[in-house]
Amino acid sequence: MLRVEARNAQTPIESKPRWIRNAVKTGPEYEDMKKKVAGASLHTVCQEAGCPNIHECWESREATFLIGGANCSRRCDFCQINSAKPEPLDRDEPRRVAESVREMGLNYSTITGVTRDDLDDEGAWLYAEVVRQIHELNPNTGVENLVPDFSGRPELLEQVFESRPEVFAHNVETVPRIFKRIRPAFRYERSLDVIRQARDYGLITKSNLILGMGETVEEIREALTDLHSAGCDIITITQYLRPGPMYHPIDRWVKPEEFVEHKDFAEELGFGAVMSGPLVRSSYRAGRLYSQAMAARGREIPDHLKHLAETSQGSTDQEATTLLAKYGPSQDTPVTSR
């Protein structure tokens, strides 16, 4: 056990407040997707990570895939992906993912994966090739590429940019003051520069902030301002949920009212699309956010993806505004007041 893990384990797992709950609703699209995934032995992050939003996203025919293997070459204090020597690169993985997208009949797919510092190109070819093969086999499916930082190297990032995902995503996750403790192998300014490079290339860009790891409200606003200045089009804001005792303790439970305030602030800054709520995840209603960001940029959605504007309509059950309308003001006391 690492020293940081031993320190984390001294803090017991926190009890969740009442607004951290998920009402399961299924529909015909979800049930059809479930059958296809089971019948073809397909693997998605949605199922394997027990995502609370699987029913809503699958009903919109959206899913997320993890590439690059099960082991990550870096360790972040909030992330439950195993940190160890990665497996050899599987060059057939892009084909299999593209075929899975076809089998599931997806409208929109998110590709994420582990960091591969063990490879000369840090996995840039893999991330780009998955996008290319999905586009080739599934021309009517939008692709979001959620990538590591590739050490900020322009020549590696350009390989990914050239694959032309509908959305290029790189998650900053937290604020500068605690960044080094939470993400020791990453750099805050470097992550901002990754987004800046993607925006300069002409791509729709996206990032995510996880709240409840020790940041203050003012620091959240500063990070949102930094992201917008870097050219980030889409921002998702979520609550940290501790995967287990060896991970970073929860500093506080952020109330839905505060998530609404952050959404309002982000929209005032000029983000093209914002999703904010305790159980929002970075790939939650991703097709909807892409459509909103395209409209905010004054771009038309290509003809082969115009269906996204229709299929991405409907409820957003995990948005803080929806939770407040459904359950009323929050009453629980946070773990720590700030």
For 210-224, write each residue's pLDDT tens digit: 999 999 999 999 999
In which band, very low, low, confident or very high, does the pLDDT at 20 lie, cut at 50, 70 and 90?
A: confident
Whether residue 204 has pLDDT greater than 80? yes
**What value does the mean pLDDT of the chain take?**
91
In which band, very low, low, confident or very high, does the pLDDT at 299 lie, cut at 50, 70 and 90?
A: very high
In which band, very low, low, confident or very high, does the pLDDT at 46 lie, cut at 50, 70 and 90?
A: confident
Can you give the pLDDT at residue 23?
Answer: 63
Domains and CATH numbers, the chain: 3-9+42-327 (3.20.20.70)
For residue 109, give both structure tokens: 């797919």
Can you give the pLDDT at residue 41?
Answer: 60
Question: Which one-letter DSSP state was computed for residue 173?
Answer: B
Tell me how far CA of residue 267 lies from CA of 28, 271, 293, 317, in angstroms: 34, 5, 12, 19
Are 274 and 266 in contact, with CB atoms under 8 Å apart? yes
| pLDDT per position as a tens digit, 79-134 | 988 899 999 999 999 999 999 999 999 999 999 999 999 999 999 999 999 999 99
The mean per-residue pLDDT over the stretch 16-34 comes to 78
Can you give the pLDDT at residue 103?
Answer: 93
* DSSP run (H or E) holding 126: helix 124-137
Whether residue 311 has pLDDT greater than 80? no
3 against 79, higher pLDDT: 79
What is the spatial distance between Cα 24 and Cα 48, in angstroms, rounded to a whole number? 17
Can you give the pLDDT at residue 310?
Answer: 80
What is the spatial distance between Cα 78 and Cα 209, in angstroms, rounded to a whole number? 12
Amino acid at the residue 161:
F
295 against 311, higher pLDDT: 295
* Nearest C-alpha neighbor of 229 from the set 189, 280, 173, 283: 189
Can you give the pLDDT at residue 314?
Answer: 67
Binding site per annotation, positions for [4Fe-4S] cluster: 46, 51, 57, 72, 76, 79, 283
In this structure, the chain runs to a length of 338
Are 292 and 249 in contact, with CB atoms under 8 Å apart? no
Rg of the chain over Cα atoms, rounded to whole angstroms, equals 19
Are 249 and 218 in contact, with CB atoms under 8 Å apart? no
Can you give the pLDDT at residue 21?
Answer: 72
What is the spatial distance between Cα 207 and Cα 146, in angstroms, rounded to a whole number? 9
Whether residue 251 has pLDDT greater than 70? yes
For residue 289, give both structure tokens: 């956010």
For residue 209, give both structure tokens: 């902030």
Amino acid at the residue 268:
E
41 against 118, higher pLDDT: 118
Binding site per annotation, positions: 46, 51, 57, 72, 76, 79, 283
Amino acid at the residue 5:
E
Greatest extent of the chain over all pairs of C-alpha atoms, in Å: 54
What is the spatial distance between Cα 6 and Cα 258, in angstroms, rounded to a whole number? 32
